[in-house]
Structure 1
Amino acid sequence: MRTKDENKVKAIKQAVIELCDTIGLANMTTAKVAKEAGVSPATIYLYYQDKTDLLSRLYEEVKDDLHRGLAGAITAAGDDVTAQLRAMLQFSVDRAREFPKESHFVSTLWTSQELLDDAAKASGNTAPGPLLTLYQRLQADDKIVDAPIPVLAAFASVPTLILQTADDDAASLTQAIDLVVKALMK
């Protein structure tokens, strides 16, 4: 049995993120990924079943990478759920600034769920972690509107979507965070 070549897996991941940014997911094929990664098309199938599996596993991995450090940001905000919400939104904007292509990749797949398998779709709303815990706290807080997690997640995505589609204007992003928080308050 072959061992996993981490360099090839990393090259495939970077190729997918780069191609998502330059040509989009609709135009991305495994052949284009292989060429961009500098591997044989057959190599992709050593690690992934098909394009859906490739996108789904990378979506989960990149999303987890982007959330690394989120628990600390939420904890540093104290016990107030509104302060934690603001901290999470600011953390997301900061990570999107630091990793714009990765953020774009996750956002693109989050809004194109038909390209993901059921496990990847579920990971966005049910995977244990600081984000799910915060969403559950928001749902339980009587100061916050009663909304399901996908609705909370959609509102929470607004500041990073603004960052991806407009100039990186700190005042506008602060205003977007304020508007999200106000929209979720009763």
Structure 2
Amino acid sequence: MINMREKDQSKKAKIIQAVFEIVDRDGLAGLSFGKIAKWAGISSGTPYVYYRDKTDMLSQIYVAAKQQLESGLDEQLAQTDSTKEQLITCLEYFARQYIKYPLQANYIMAIHAAPELITPTARQEGASFTNSLSGLYCRLCKESQAAVVGDQFLVGALLLGPIMWLLRQAKLNNTQVDDAQIKRVVRISVNGLFEEENHETSL
């Protein structure tokens, strides 16, 4: 017999899944509590039981999705002491999780394109992966192994740009990305940071 708490959690799970599916099909602009309720097969007032408003809902789901995709990363990073290999591990893990959880990953990317839709607290809580990348890169710079780039947005573009392009193209073309492709793109991206011509002092 299903108790009330299990039933309530089931309804919340339906809401979250509906949000992921609607954003995947229609984007964030297609979201409303009414549409979510209809999609999830629940009453129109049910979302208000779990969320104060749309901003609260988007924020909570964003933080939870980020935590789900990043779960286990610390254990992966602990397997090597090499900063460069940790950076590679971080990017490869991101790509594999993106493929494993496509709806959650798509939702996160949609929020990143419209960060004003969530609270500043949620944005801060969701920055852990970017902070990990930046931290590893800064450590490489201190070790004089990589180019020094002061702009953290540029660091993100250098490290995430190539693998994100690969993943997005695969989604657009309805094709699969295999592990060999992930490793190759990530290593080319990271190794590019160690090329002499990439150092700001040589520009």
The alpha-carbon distance between structure 1 residues 157 and 58, as it changes in their structure 2 partners (threshold 3 A), is: farther
Contact kept? 2:84, 2:140, Cα under 8 Å: no
Q: State the distance in 2 between where 1:98 and 1:73 align.
A: 16
Q: Residues 97-143 of structure 1: CA distance to partner in whole angstroms, max 9, x if unpaired?
A: 11111111111111221211111111233x5xx76345323223322
Q: How many positions carry a matched residue from both structures?
A: 181
Using the aligned pairs only, state the percent identity.
27
2:63 corresponds in structure 1 to 60
The alpha-carbon distance between structure 1 residues 136 and 104, as it changes in their structure 2 partners (threshold 3 A), is: same
The alpha-carbon distance between structure 1 residues 112 and 176, as it changes in their structure 2 partners (threshold 3 A), is: farther
- From 170, 174, 181, give the equivalent of 2:183: 174
1:99 corresponds in structure 2 to 101
Q: Residues 19-61 of structure 1: CA distance to partner in whole angstroms, max 9, x if unpaired?
A: 1111111111111111111222211111111111111110000
Q: Residues 66-93 of structure 1: CA distance to partner in whole angstroms, max 9, x if unpaired?
A: 10111111112x1111101111111111
- From 16, 21, 24, give the equivalent of 2:27: 24
Contact kept? 2:86, 2:136, Cα under 8 Å: no
TM-score (norm 1): 0.84
One-letter amino acid matched to 2:52: Q
1:162 corresponds in structure 2 to 166
Q: State the distance in 1 between where 2:158 and 2:114 align.
A: 17
One-letter amino acid matched to 1:177: V
Contact kept? 2:77, 2:89, Cα under 8 Å: yes
The CA RMSD measured in Å over matched residues stands at 2.4
Tell whether 2:8 aligns with 1:8.
no
2:36 corresponds in structure 1 to 33
Q: State the distance in 1 between where 2:67 and 2:92 align.
A: 17
The alpha-carbon distance between structure 1 residues 89 and 6, as it changes in their structure 2 partners (threshold 3 A), is: same
1:71 corresponds in structure 2 to 74
Contact kept? 1:12, 1:34, Cα under 8 Å: yes
Q: State the distance in 2 between where 1:24 and 1:131 align.
A: 23
**Which aligned runs of 4 or more in structure 1 are off by greater than 6 angstroms?**
none
The alpha-carbon distance between structure 1 residues 151 and 41, as it changes in their structure 2 partners (threshold 3 A), is: farther
- 1:115-130 mapped onto 2 (5 Å cutoff): 115-125=117-127, 127=128
Bigger mean CA deviation after superposition, 51-60 or 145-154:
145-154
Q: Any stretches of 5+ residues in structure 2 without a counterpart?
A: none
Q: State the distance in 2 between where 1:101 and 1:111 align.
A: 15
Q: Any stretches of 5+ residues in structure 1 without a counterpart?
A: none
TM-score (norm 2): 0.77
Q: State the distance in 2 between where 1:81 and 1:63 align.
A: 23
One-letter amino acid matched to 1:41: S
**Displacement of 1:154:** 4.3
Q: State the distance in 1 between where 2:165 and 2:43 align.
A: 34
**SS at the partner of 1:41?**
coil
